[in-house]
Amino acid sequence: MAWNLPGRDSNNARPKGNRGPNWNPLSGLRDRFQGGDPSGIGRWIGIAVVLMLLMSSVVLITEQQRGVVVRFGKYVRTMQPGPNLKLPWPFEKVTKVNATAINTYSESVPVLTRDENIVTVEINVQYRISNPERYVFGTRDAVDMLKQAALSTVREQVGHSDLDTVLGARNALAVTARANLQKSLDAYRTGLVVTELNLPNARPPEEVKPAFDDVNSAQQDKDRLISEARAYAAKVVPEARGAAARTRTIAEGYKTTEIARASGDADRFNALVEQYKIAPDATRTRMWLETMQGVLANNRKIVGADSKQILNFSLPSAPASTAAATAQTTAPASAAVVTNTVASEADIRPGRQGRTLDRGDTGR
């Protein structure tokens, strides 16, 4: 029969080990996988499933990531950076989170201060994930929880402060708000850590902004005037203290001099009293001579012998013009002056009518 060709059996199958000219090396492998299934779809599906399970058992975690592993919905462990193994899906599932990235949240909110003023405060919060487990399972939405907690914390701090503090001294408020915000996040089990919280700007509402600008200008003028006054005080006060010390020193010296002079005069007067008691006439004469010496030594002296001769004795310090003017004086007027001067001196000379006038004696 035509179908009984050499090399084939009655079932039309090629004998084992017989390779014809159209032999395919993959045909044997294909025949083995096909088995009793003419199409072989089931085995190919099995191979795909096995490969998928093997691939799902290896997880690669980058340096910035952390992997949260759950087994049937329960947390098991946290994968660190690098290749990691796990049970294939659906036994274990991995959720990757970025644990090193710094995230930012910014918002502008109107807040009521302690002195009942409304001010718009800008909030800037920087945070990152510190605990991946809590970040995934601690709350339903950790980021939304951070936003709500940040707004609440800032409102609390601004509400306890007055307007001047909010506008000009926000650094202390930011530090306190950051600490309180971190406490709230830890209490809510968000797994987040606040790296920075700033209040970069605080401004009044637009409706009253001109009035607040005037207040700020007045505050700046006040600070400027205070600074100028302090600078002036720092310059003037030392000078005034130096002048006061100098005046005090001069006064102390004057006091010492006057006391010494008064004490000397008193001692001299006491000694003179003792001499007067011993020799009254000699003491009185000496006192008159000393007095006249002092008077004539400091004044101009004119001596007239008769009505036509006048001698003018000027001191060395007297100006020349004064001496010339005196020399031109008429004889009768000069004689009168000399007569009055001699008469005055005669009144105080000792021996007039047996009586001498001393200082303080009226002649009675």
The pLDDT tens digits of the residues spanning 72-128 come to 888 888 888 777 777 777 788 888 888 888 999 999 888 888 888 888 899 999 999
Residues 73 and 123 in one domain: no
Domain assignment present for residue 238? The answer is: no
Residues 342 and 296 in one domain: yes
Residues 131 and 63 in one domain: no
**What confidence score (pLDDT) does residue 32 get?**
53
**What confidence score (pLDDT) does residue 212 get?**
75
Residues 118 and 182 in one domain: yes
CATH at 177: 3.30.479.30
Domain assignment present for residue 248? The answer is: no
Domain assignment present for residue 68? The answer is: yes
Query: Over 70: is that where the pLDDT of 8 sits?
Result: no
**What confidence score (pLDDT) does residue 266 get?**
92
- E strand spans, 11-102: 58-61, 65-71, 74-79, 82-85, 92-98
**What confidence score (pLDDT) does residue 90 get?**
77
| pTM, rounded to two decimals | 0.47
Domain assignment present for residue 50? The answer is: no
Mean pLDDT of 173-180: 91
Residues 72 and 153 in one domain: no
Q: How many domains does the chain have?
A: 3
Domain assignment present for residue 5? The answer is: no
Query: pLDDT-derived band of residue 304, with 50, 70 and 90 as boundaries?
Result: low
Q: Which residue has the tokens 């796990």?
A: 86
**What confidence score (pLDDT) does residue 363 get?**
39
Residues 83 and 108 in one domain: no
Q: What average pLDDT is seen over the chain?
A: 75
Sequence-distant contacts of 23-30: CB under 8 A, at least 24 apart: none
User: For the chain, what percent of residues have pLDDT higher than 90?
Assistant: 25
Residues 81 and 121 in one domain: no
Three-state DSSP class for 268?
Answer: helix
Q: Return the structure tokens found at 217.
A: 């200008």
141 is in which domain, residue-wise? 103-203
Residues 107 and 197 in one domain: yes
Domain assignment present for residue 12? The answer is: no
The pLDDT tens digits of the residues spanning 219-248 come to: 889 999 999 999 999 999 999 999 999 999
Distance CA 183, CA 185 (A): 6
Residues 89 and 156 in one domain: no
Residues 68 and 132 in one domain: no
Query: pLDDT-derived band of residue 309, with 50, 70 and 90 as boundaries?
Result: low
Domain assignment present for residue 208? The answer is: no
Domain assignment present for residue 241? The answer is: no
